[in-house]
Amino acid sequence: MSGTMPSKAVLDTLSLIVGPNEVLTKKEDLLTYAFDGTAVLNTLPGCVVFPRTTAQVAAILKYANEQKIPVITRGSGTGLSGGSVPDLDCIVLCTVRFNQILEVDAKNLTLMAEPGVITLKIAESAEAVGLFYPPDPGSMRISTIGGNIAENSGGLRGLKYGVTRDYVMGLEIVTATGDIIWMGNKCVKDVAGYSLKDVFIGSEGTLAVITKVLLKLIPKPKTKKTLLAVFDRMDAAAETVSAIIENKIIPCTLEFLDKITIKCVEDYAKIGLPLDAEAVLLMETDGHPAVVEEEAKQMEQIARQHGARAVSVAQSNEEALKLASARRTAFSALARVNPTTILEDATVPRSELAKMVNFIQDVGVRYKLKIGTFGHMGDGNLHPTFLTDEKNHEEMERVEKAMVEIFEFAVKLGGTITGEHGVGLAKKPYLENAIGKLNVEVMRQLKKAFDPNHILNPGKIFDK
């Protein structure tokens, strides 16, 4: 991690645009912006700027483009693929002070917000008027809505309600050259031209900076039931998930924790999970009370038929929250165990889940590695998490080989190398194998069209 300051002229210009209190340049301040949630990757930026308006973002980008200075857009830096890890001497454009909810429109079921609003605040603002914003990444207490859209984040309710993309009705973006473009509207239907906003959702800060978002809200489900099923075999949990889907039930949540994760969560949060279990499955159904009652019964039955040794149903909201927190704390709990935590994101069609979880276990044994696996099982989205130590070079080589095998197997099963964390720096070496040369080439052409000088997140997704 090293770097030199941008020139005085650059810093003076940035201070003129956003004000001197909105620019960080001291090394001790910059250190916290050198990394995101991804293990091992870090680079010291040249400076950090905190714009509060679209006009300021446009002025920063126009100037950076003229000077060909790399700009790394950053929300809260919780990303897990190195998306907001700086380029040496770059400008980090951090959106956390650009963070107002602009409108909740109950007539049109929409919410308009600035990019730095924390995801939880979006959900709470919707709830305050009896509405619902479903995407709930595990990081929702700290992540920003701009970061969620840039990564097309999923969450614990993705199975039934979809991911962030499904709730974006409009976007304001600023291109690398400083042009401000609005796309989308409050209409339920609109086919005027290409669906351009979709190009920017999941573009990981490589095409533009998102400066305003128009989100779709839906009515809040009337009720919810939370169940926890305990298994002595991990593949039995995976088979339960496949069977629930096959039985045409779409629960709002089907999350799982394996034995290593259960132990870490218990040590960390003391929820009362069974330490001798091989896997637990968190299941939630929501909607009309009659449907919820029926689905909960069916899920319990299916889990038992597939070998669950116990199924408990939360008797109160507090108990449901406690069970859900077992899943929400999984990453933090695993991260306490070893110095380095590498969280992966392999995703497969749901029919292939049992094969994938068995394969991950086998890889862990063969490479003598500690891998805790948890994740959005109902989406086929698994998070095999390597508990390791980056200073142990020999072990890191084994981690690398194990990762390659896991990604290759996921692709072979018809899956993908990342279900929700994005490519960034971490998955770049595996992208071409997963999606093919031609797809990567089309993406390169898009990048060239929107960012001709490669100033936005250069080197992310594909090489500079």
Angle in degrees, 0-180, between the axes of helices 393-412 and 428-435, rounded to the nearest 10: 20
Burial of 305 (0-12, 13-18, 19+ CB in 10 A): exposed
* Nearest-approach distance from CB 305 to ligand FAD, in angstroms: 29
Residue among 224 and 327 whose Cβ is closer to ligand FAD: 327
* Nearest-approach distance from CB 29 to ligand FAD, in angstroms: 17
Spatial distance between the Cα atoms of 301 and 227, rounded to a whole number of angstroms:
12
Residue 171 one-letter amino acid: L
Spatial distance between the Cα atoms of 138 and 356, rounded to a whole number of angstroms:
22
**Distance from the Cα of residue 23 to its chain's centroid:** 27
* Nearest-approach distance from CB 338 to ligand FAD, in angstroms: 16
Residue among 332 and 392 whose Cβ is closer to ligand FAD: 332
Structure tokens at 443: 């993406």
Residue among 207 and 228 whose Cβ is closer to ligand FAD: 207
Kindly state the helix (H) or strand (E) to which residue 358 belongs, with its residue range: helix 353-366
SS3 content of the chain, % helix, strand, coil (to 5): 40, 20, 40
Residue ranges that bind ligand FAD, judged by CB under 6 A: 36-37, 72-80, 83-84, 95, 115, 137-139, 143-144, 146-148, 150-151, 153-155, 204-205, 209-210, 331-332, 420-421, 424, 457
Residue among 47 and 296 whose Cβ is closer to ligand FAD: 47
Residue among 42 and 332 whose Cβ is closer to ligand FAD: 332
Residue among 144 and 285 whose Cβ is closer to ligand FAD: 144
Spatial distance between the Cα atoms of 309 and 205, rounded to a whole number of angstroms:
46
Residue among 104 and 210 whose Cβ is closer to ligand FAD: 210
* Nearest-approach distance from CB 200 to ligand FAD, in angstroms: 8
* Nearest-approach distance from CB 307 to ligand FAD, in angstroms: 27
Residue among 225 and 421 whose Cβ is closer to ligand FAD: 421
Spatial distance between the Cα atoms of 18 and 286, rounded to a whole number of angstroms:
45
Give whole-number Cα distances, 331 to 82, 341, 388, in Å. Answer: 16, 9, 14
* Nearest-approach distance from CB 95 to ligand FAD, in angstroms: 5
DSSP 39: S
Give 235's contacts (C-beta < 8 A, 6+ positions apart).
354, 357, 358
Beta strands in 250-380, from DSSP E residues, in sequence order: 253-258, 279-287, 308-313, 340-343, 371-376
* Nearest-approach distance from CB 293 to ligand FAD, in angstroms: 28
* Nearest-approach distance from CB 148 to ligand FAD, in angstroms: 4
